[in-house]
Structure 1
């Protein structure tokens, strides 16, 4: 690989589709490296608007908007999957370097296509049935083609626990949108894991340590991320091998976050993937020699990939809006958690809270994972993301 690329303090421009918290944290590193950036987001209050060189408000799913935005950048990346892939394909044809590759993103955008991809490539995943419409599931249950329980997943536009529901009886189907979907076998898993893979265009690839995820039972969102995962080295190695296989099969460039189920029998199944920086990688901001955002930049700019080794054990706590609060946000207990050892809060800059909306996260670093987990529980008990007016 040649020496320094002409990215730093030049007229090179990196375009980012999406200006949420992931875009904001990606900009930490572009500012450090003096890389010019341009961000597109539907919201005029997007967190990333303040740190980029150019901010444009617009619809990420609109073909013309994405085309017009992308023509003026040298490399185009994403911080959210719900973007117009047809525009990305055409921009790529016009010479814009687009990462992740649009063909990969097209497959990932649709959960049914994503699951079929794993089946075709021999990547272990839970058995599933694909349906053109949710209404077809009732007939399948009556005819014996499908049995309860299962997990219903909308094929498109599911995000942060939305578009997913465990169906234990036929009545649970009521109220679900009548859309393309999958019915996935309900996996009896012991632990949910994740592995982040980084890969550049030259094919250099690294993986981060396997992390363990604990989910909020009501919101179906990650509540805690523990790094390293509390599993035997042999299983951790197996998880990394499966994640690497997935990244290679996709031809990934940039980051690929691979979410996994670990069954009681030691099987590891791919749940789904995200081709971008991911909530399961936030631990790396304080815990890794190279955080996930810097690594994503290194990968898409075809620079040498950085060390993924841990400097310290870490636990990440998501800060989400209280269930009965909506409106201008108020963070209660920040001073208290800052008094705790190893605590680093990250506030995303969203001015309005709503139930279970991701508003920030806290990383707890400690030489002992057990002590970090204990501190994380104290953080969770103390901090509150509220609104100034409680919902009726």
Structure 2
């Protein structure tokens, strides 16, 4: 294909921090971005060409977006997959990843069934519609992680259950049809950011994720595991892409068990929080890769530049309040640190407000770099 710049205009359903970073990555390529988001002056608005204010299932807003762009993508699973497909057909636009992929992934039960039927390793699971089903799952698996089939993210919609007496409360907590997955006693969680291009697939090195209260706190590169496990993680990620359709970046979360086995936890059909390290730590960021991929352009290098740790900046407040981050000068004065602010007007408890990335020019031990990243991140304060 022939690529010229200035390039096409890309429509993105979703204007949160992922839309913001997509627009930042698109600009140097000569690609303008128009976002659709229900929040006026959303985080992506200051860096995108324009924002259309509308809900993620608003036909009029989707058609306005489609009328102004040359291709469509999304950065949030709440995007209406059927509506995406409809407007893409009406306006003769490409939409990537394929809306069918979004529809499959947004239902965790269908996602796991699809992977299992394709031979991709996943933890044992079963459908759960009520408390009786959950008690059956506990009898079969022992401890389980109960997951809402749709709508859950950052730990929301996930409830660990060990006692059958808690079945009623657990079902009420997830709020509807669910999936019970055997509780995996994993050594670490890994994630691979995988990219499906027009005729090529590339994977970034697997990162090691550190969670607390089901929320990602840090991602460490290189992951503190052996080369065989890293190669196996990349192979599984490529197998996952074989089950999906459409171009783009996919965040693939994986469990590594103590014996080195790999299984798939969840898939995100978009750039992923665990891939934010790629902005400073890789030759080409996940956001630039997504722009390239959805437009059908050649992909960039996924090579790791140097040891890298990404630390999320979460809302350390007890009640929502206007967002104002203080003590920033300590991070700005750290020659190894890079600060990313997401532009959200309100800080809430544990809300993702930004991230700090630490890189090292030498072969720093990842554990030492992690300690440095935590020190830099924890010096920040919401005023």
Q: Does the alignment reach a TM-score above 0.5? A: yes
| CA distance, structure 1, for counterparts of residue 140 and residue 279 of structure 2 | 44
The question of 1:200 aligning with 2:197 is answered yes
8 Å Cα contact 2:138/2:162 also seen in 1: no
Deviation at 1:252, TM superposition (A): 4.1
| Equivalent in 199, 220, 225 of residue 219 of structure 2 | 225
Residue deviations 1:229-287, cap 9 Å, x none?
11111110000000001012213411011000000121100001111111111111111
| CA distance, structure 1, for counterparts of residue 252 and residue 141 of structure 2 | 28
TM-score (norm 1): 0.91
Task: In structure 2, list runs of 5 or more residues that go unmatched.
Answer: none
Deviation at 1:100, TM superposition (A): 0.6
Describe how 1:146-165 pairs up with structure 2 within 5 A.
146-165=140-159
Residue deviations 1:170-211, cap 9 Å, x none?
32641414411101100010000000111112x211100010
Deviation at 1:302, TM superposition (A): 1.4
Task: In structure 1, list runs of 5 or more residues that go unmatched.
Answer: none
Counterpart of 2:233 in structure 1 is 239
Counterpart of 1:285 in structure 2 is 279
Residue deviations 1:289-334, cap 9 Å, x none?
1111111111111111111111111000000001514201222321
Deviation at 1:97, TM superposition (A): 0.2
Which stretch shifts more, 374-383 or 41-50? Answer: 374-383
Deviation at 1:64, TM superposition (A): 4.1
Counterpart of 1:254 in structure 2 is 248
The question of 1:351 aligning with 2:345 is answered yes
Deviation at 1:70, TM superposition (A): 2.2
Which aligned runs of 4 or more in structure 1 are off by greater than 3 angstroms? 142-148
Change (3 A) 1:109 1:362: same
SS of the residue 2:323 aligns to: strand
| CA distance, structure 2, for counterparts of residue 163 and residue 363 of structure 1 | 28
Which stretch shifts more, 57-66 or 355-364? Answer: 57-66
Counterpart of 1:125 in structure 2 is 122
TM-score (norm 2): 0.93
